[in-house]
Chains A and B, each alone.
Chain A
Amino acid sequence: MTLKRTLENIENQFETFQILNEEGEIVNEDYMPDLSDEDLKEIMRRMVYTRILDQRSIALNRQGRLGFYAPTAGQEASQLGSQFALEKEDFILPGYRDVPQLIWHGLPLYQAFLFSRGHYKGNQMPEGVNAVSPQIIIGAQITQTAGVGLGYKKRGENAVAITYTGDGGASQGDFYEGINFAGAFGAQAIFVVQNNRFAISVPVEKQSAAQTIAQKAVAAGIEGIQVDGMDVLAVYAATKDARERAVNGEGPTLIETLTYRYGPHTMAGDDPTRYRTEDEDNEWEKKDPIVRFRKFLEAKGLWSEEEENELIEKTKEEIKAAIKEADNTPKQSVTDLIGIMHEELPSNLKEQLEEYKEKESK
């Protein structure tokens, strides 16, 4: 006699939630979110803008004019669909690839460029922009999100903390601790795992025996859902639902979005042909979030090639202006660094501050 086991039962319950298929057709009318035509167009604009920004960022990086950059093309639906479901007061704790969410949450573009270039001013969120700069340590932001979500609960705020990590990030101890703490405290939090199938070169199949990342929610006693991460409507609907439940005191949610990054891991020498096939790339490009959403909007008579071209030109201009503004920002000095490490300068640094003031005044 075999013992009663649960794994199969659990895994079978995690289906991929989709609203818009690859052809741009609504396949799940019941869950179609209540979005105005203007909202739908705004989502499209943001995705196109972000795709252009990615192309320009890669070009700028190759010219040596940007610095650290993690490409985003392919992940627009996951990144922007979830961000579109947020309110201004919600708090974003992003990973290094999640700069687009910050931009749409209110970080000026020139500051995003300063972040890439390694200038502290790129990390200063403007007043009222509830976010921190992208986390470099995989998973560290996840436990912090439990804390922000608990803080919001304690203060009775009508807001959530949302964090992003990848399929690799879901293997970190901090991932498990973070979702477990959030569950135990009923934190107002959303954990988004953008499963783009690779952690640099390591395929998701090597990260875990778990069939889905979403099912990891079960062990933490929180809600989990797997979403088609190339379907911006499904990502939006799942995040909106998670947000509502979180602020209603119904606990945190883990959202796994199935997506793909078309480009290299970062612009620091990664060569995806070492670990991915062209077939796989092509397979995923057929699922492209912008292509399918364009089809959907065009069928509704909400979008035209003309409008898109106009938007692309405007975006390029904005990027140009933002780069110029970043160029005009004086370089960060060591004196700046010493000055903002502490509220009050400790005695050892007082001496060193003088030393660097002297050095940097030359």
Chain B
Amino acid sequence: MAQMTMIQAITDAMRTELKNDDNVLVFGEDVGQNGGVFRATEGLQKEFGEDRVFDTPLAESGIGGMSIGLALTGFRPVPEIQFFGFVYETMDAISGQMARYRYRSGGTRPMPITVRSPFGGGVHTPELHADSLEGLMAQQPGLRVVIPSNPYDAKGLLISSIRNNDPVIFLEHMKLYRSFREEVPEEEYTVELDKAAVKREGTDVTLVAYGAMVHSCLKAAEELEKDGVNAEVIDLRTVAPVDYETILESVKKTNRAVVVQEAQKQAGIAANIVSEIQEKAILHLEAPVLRVTAPDTVYAFTQAEEVWLPNHNTIVEKVNDVMNF
């Protein structure tokens, strides 16, 4: 075991899979020599050579399209989009192409591609670096969207994603990259995709979140505990498809739920979850299922970012609304 930050765990996952499978290729802008702008690929080119870990020209649609071509020749590409706000440049390659290839080819052409990308607010980036665009990806049938909240999951989920024979969008919250360390096994292991984790057991209300908001929920749960409210916290880990089974089981126990996402409110992951809860468990509910989200705007410039982002206080407020309904 070693103490690792999330970014170290991510590097370790790629190293593990580069070692395990000669077909794994890691590439993107500044990914080779420089080891990535966040150092996610630190040392990998040196260890595995320029043929396996390399820099690409600066063009995201090209990176996406080339990944597809490499997959067509049997490789298992792990491209990086330097910041996920740049995904618009490669929307067709992702949503119009890799997500559909298996179906389009009558089930004959798998796309074992893992698109890695940093995202998430609170780190004072310029525009279009921090936006939470997972809802856009989740809207696309054929894509799996994975968002880890901690180093242990990050390594296990990334290994599972790379081994998966369908495309995975693997989103890494920048605020979590180096915010804490935890024990991460040096040997290989996997964390199951499409499976949520109960991070804290509770009896009064279910908090559902993913990425950095999992930590805000845990902090909120601690505050709530002081007022005698016992919150259960679920970390989705895979946001598309959602593990509704785990959520419904919890809601049937607590009879109350608040769904939390850093993204704007409209048409997101949280909206999906609220719908599913009322479709499947309405008679178990003691109160409406509420959402904690950012407002329906584009991501705020730095000066307004602090207020724009949901946090443990806004979560506590919403939970109180649900408890006092």
Contacts and interface: CB of A to CB of B under 8 A. Distances in A.
Contact of B194 (A137, A149, A184, A346): A346
B165 A343 contact: yes
A165 interface: no
A337 B165 CA distance: 17
B72 A143 contact: no
Given A144-B97, A180-B62, A342-B166, A120 B73 contact: no
A150 to B, nearest CB: 6
A125 B108 CA distance: 8
User: Which of B106, B107, B110, B245 is packed against the most chain A CB atoms within 10 Å?
Assistant: B106
B105 A177 contact: no
B61 A148 contact: no
Contacts of A147: 65-73
Interface stretch (A47-55, A151-159, A254-262): A151-159
Interface residues of B, number: 44
B51 interface: yes
A123 B106 contact: yes
A132 interface: yes
A277 interface: no
A94 B235 CA distance: 43
Contact of B64 (A132, A143, A152): A143
Given A137-B92, A143-B93, A343-B165, A151 B72 contact: yes
Interface residues of A, number: 45
A133 B105 contact: yes
A154 B51 contact: yes
A145 B102 contact: no
A342 B102 contact: yes
A221 to B, nearest CB: 11
A149 B70 CA distance: 8
Given A143-B69, A343-B102, A177 B107 contact: no
Nearest to A142: B65
Given A137-B96, A144-B97, A347-B243, A178 B106 contact: no
A337 to B, nearest CB: 7
Given A137-B92, A343-B110, A91 B72 contact: yes
Contact of A337 (B103, B109, B110): B103
B65 A143 contact: yes
A343 B72 CA distance: 16
A174 interface: yes
A63 to B, nearest CB: 26
Contacts of B92: 137, 140, 174
A86 to B, nearest CB: 16
B104 interface: yes
Interface string B197-235: 000000000000000000000000000000000000000
A150 B69 contact: yes
Interface in A312-362: 337, 339-344, 346-349
A151 B74 contact: yes
Interface string B81-118: 00000000000110011000111111111100000000
B62 A146 contact: yes
Contact of B69 (A120, A145, A340, A341): A145
Contacts of B122: none
A159 to B, nearest CB: 9
A108 interface: no
B65 A148 contact: no
Contacts of A91: 72-73
Interface string A173-188: 1100110110011000
B57 interface: yes
Contacts of A145: 69
A339 B243 CA distance: 20
Contact of B72 (A120, A132, A180, A344): A132
Contacts of B190: none
A252 to B, nearest CB: 12
A63 B54 CA distance: 53
A210 to B, nearest CB: 20
Contacts of A340: 102-103, 106-107
Contacts of B121: none
A347 to B, nearest CB: 6
A117 B112 CA distance: 29
A148 B66 CA distance: 7
Q: Which 3 A-B pairs have the closest CB atoms?
A: A147-B69, A143-B65, A151-B73
Interface of B: 51, 56-57, 59, 61-62, 64-75, 92-93, 96-97, 101-110, 141-142, 144, 164-166, 194, 241-245
Interface of A: 91, 93, 120-125, 132-133, 137, 140, 142-152, 154-155, 161, 173-174, 177-178, 180-181, 184-185, 337, 339-344, 346-349
